[in-house]
Structure 1
């Protein structure tokens, strides 16, 4: 494979090779424009729908009347879509005829002899979209004029097809892995609902402050079976309070939560930072829960750590298994999100946790329930790690193949097919 781009590659502006169609939004004040039942209308794509490579179902549907009384445009099946406002650069295929809002651009190649549609899909994930950006009040945004100025690097058509085939095969693995993760998460949700409310093998139930539970279970204040604590943020102006080697769980670690254990943190504080603040070092095995931004996210500490004031922390007594508590908090995450209040940062006040009651099965049953749920989590985490690894491979391949750094070999049969 040659490591240089040959003269057969060329650059072109998107506006030279594609027509760009921008969608619209029917009036929200006219209910006749919207099909809330999704039974007779047409799929209408917004940015929140651009989460999978192919879009078939959408969050909202519009009616024929909504189409007639707005500037939405029909997008044919197979068309490449891209978000260009706020979340710039999310790319997907239309998997059926549909419509889009004004934050989504549809790319229609002017000639099949210039750009291969699947190559366009891959290229939009690699080409420099941000060279002509505007910094909008609420974030990064493009417009149709600037989309037309995006510069595409185009190899000959046979090479486009070969590159797209290679990258699409990786996309297929990513998509299948994602589907496996979704199925396991759905299974876990069902298992939590069943095991944490009905237990294992029970036939008789009773009402309790936490809902219907087996008659053998108790409903107790969490404070009666675990020692509750919180944390603090040392003075950020004092450099000697920071980078001292003590793990410190903060909102910066949000992405590390909800994965059963947290093993390290983005920021660390010093012994002086602990001594000169209200920060507390919690022992390994402590269960922590975010009560502010990212409300309801939880984890179990794998080593002694401090936490910020945005977290609650519980050290379980011998009556409460830490893994069981973690999964109860996971089950109740939607409840925590619902009760959080605040205009800027939603938060749950301390009085709520002082009164919080939880179901308490016999300890052996707690352990069995936690073991069953953690076995599913292990499989989810393995697949998520695989997903991350494959995405890294895809990124590296795109860097090589879409820039011409590494060339693909085209045989005569492939050249003729193109």
Structure 2
């Protein structure tokens, strides 16, 4: 490969670099702040310094625990107060070494399957709580380019990631606009003669199910099947993919239900209150609820009702082991609804354009993500040549 040389990963990348942090409140990053679909993660809060990983702006946070690593929780951190922060002990912090490795290149390197597969194969510990030992990176050898080529590889992949991030931001703005219109129509301008209705009267709840995992014929079909993790990773957007899929036979021979396109799903256990819209008909597990409109075809109105009510739902969870939303939760909370249903149908028409644009953006994100993920290993291995 010419200027490419073989390096031991732990010699090429600075792992858990020393970071001196102030005593004041500092940016804190949790595992939930990392999303496999985005390059960057941002701190969810500020808190006083305690034990944990320490990092600076631009460092890569690499989840070292299962199943977070398998789920692709690897992100570059940004938006830190004073450029420094700390976080979960379950992160390794990766940074480039001066004059040897570019910090942005290190992020893409850590996402390369050669690195991830090596880390996963070297996990130790009990089943379900396995971790990657730091020593594993001393046994990983890779042929890597000089820093000028690294920067050129970053520039190629960054173009795709920047476009993906832009589309994510645009979707967040579109969703916020739809929320604002909902609040204006149904909260700020609510009339005294409107009816107070229980959420259970406005929406229809549908329970989910899981086909028997031991029966091979039930799985890996063409029906996408959502877990709570799928929903959490696509919170407040239109979901296009799932980690697992089932067959029509699996659907028929289980309590799983197939929801139509644009239905809402919400997590009811574990990470409670995460919700999203379906880009196509999908099934889902019993840890979640499907939500259908009682006003025919008013899917986006129904979604925004859930969006508006979710904080109330989260404050009313039940269960001593797992926080849980039950059917009772939806019967205990109300919202004012106009007696004239025409208003609801007009609202649905008003906001539909926002969600159709979000859907279009999600499709673009999917295409760009597939392109990036196809290019990344080819660039990292030198299969696609990049000159300095």
TM > 0.5 fold call? yes
Partner of 2:108: 122
Deviation (angstroms), 1:405: 0.9
SS of the aligned residue for 1:128 comes to: helix
Q: CA 1:322–1:360 in structure 2 vs 1: closer, same or farther (change >3 Å)?
A: farther
Is the aligned partner of 1:219 residue 2:196? yes
**C-alpha spacing 1:19/1:357, structure 2 compared with 1 (3 Å):** closer
Question: Where in structure 2 are the equivalents of 1:399-414 lying within 5 Å?
Answer: 399-408=377-386, 410=387, 414=388
Deviation at 1:291, TM superposition (A): 6.7
Q: Given the alignment of the two structures, is residue 377 of structure 1 paired with residue 350 of structure 2, yes or no? A: no
Q: Which residue pairs with 1:167 in the alignment?
A: 157
- The correspondence of residues 107-256 of structure 1 with structure 2, limited to 5 A, is 107-112=94-99, 114-126=100-112, 127-132=114-119, 133-137=122-126, 139-198=129-188, 202=189, 213-221=190-198, 230=206, 236=212, 251=227, 255=231
Which structure's CA Rg is the greater one? 1
Q: Which residue number in structure 1 is paired with residue 10 of structure 2? A: 15
| Alignment partner, residue 347 of structure 1 | 324
Alignment check: 8 A CA contact 2:28 2:85 kept:
yes
Q: State the 1:368 CA deviation.
A: 1.8
Q: Do 1:19 and 1:110's aligned partners in 2 also have CA atoms closer than 8 Å?
A: yes
2: CA distance, partners of 1:179 / 1:225:
30
Over 3 Å counting, the alpha-carbon distance change for 1:392 and 1:340 in structure 2 is same
Aligned residues: 367
**Are positions 1:292 and 2:268 aligned together?**
yes
Do the aligned partners of 2:23 and 2:48 also contact (CA within 8 Å) in 1? yes
Distance 1:317 1:174, change over 3 A: closer
Instruction: Please report how far the alpha carbon of residue 328 of structure 1 lies from its aligned counterpart in structure 2 after TM superposition.
Output: 1.4
**Cα separation, 2, equivalents of 1:267 and 1:7:** 47
For residue 365 of structure 1, the aligned residue among 323, 335, 343 is: 343
Cα 1:176/1:356, change in 2 over 3 Å = closer
Does 2:251 match 1:267?
Answer: no
Task: Map residues 30-49 of structure 1 onto 2, 5 A cutoff.
Answer: 35=24, 41-49=25-33
| Structure 2 equivalent of residue 206 of structure 1 | none
Q: Could you tell me how far apart the structure 2 residues matched to 1:356 and 1:54 are?
A: 36
Match in the other structure for 2:60: 81
List per-residue Cα deviations over 1:185-240 (Å, max 9, x = no partner): 33333333333323xxx4xxxxxxxxxx31242123466677x574575984997x
Of 297, 303, 311, which residue of structure 2 is paired with 1:334? 311
Q: Measured at CA, do residues 303 and 165 of structure 1 come closer, stay the same or move farther in structure 2, by a change above 3 Å?
A: closer
Contact 2:225 2:285 survives alignment (8 Å): yes
Mapped to 2, the partners of 1:56 and 1:295 lie a distance apart of: 21
Higher mean alpha-carbon deviation, 246-255 vs 216-225, is at 246-255
Deviations 1:140-193 (A, max 9, x none): 422332234443331244322322222222222222222222322333333333
Residues 43-72 of structure 1 show CA distances to partners (whole Å, capped at 9, x for unaligned) of: 355544555645675622446xx7xxx797
Distance 2:282 2:132 in 1: 47
Q: Structure 2 regions of 5+ residues with no counterpart?
A: none
Q: Aligned in 2, Cα 1:174/1:217: closer, same or farther, shift over 3 Å? A: same
Residue aligned with 1:100, SS: strand
**Structure 1 spans left out of the alignment, 5+ residues:** 1-5, 27-32, 36-40, 203-212
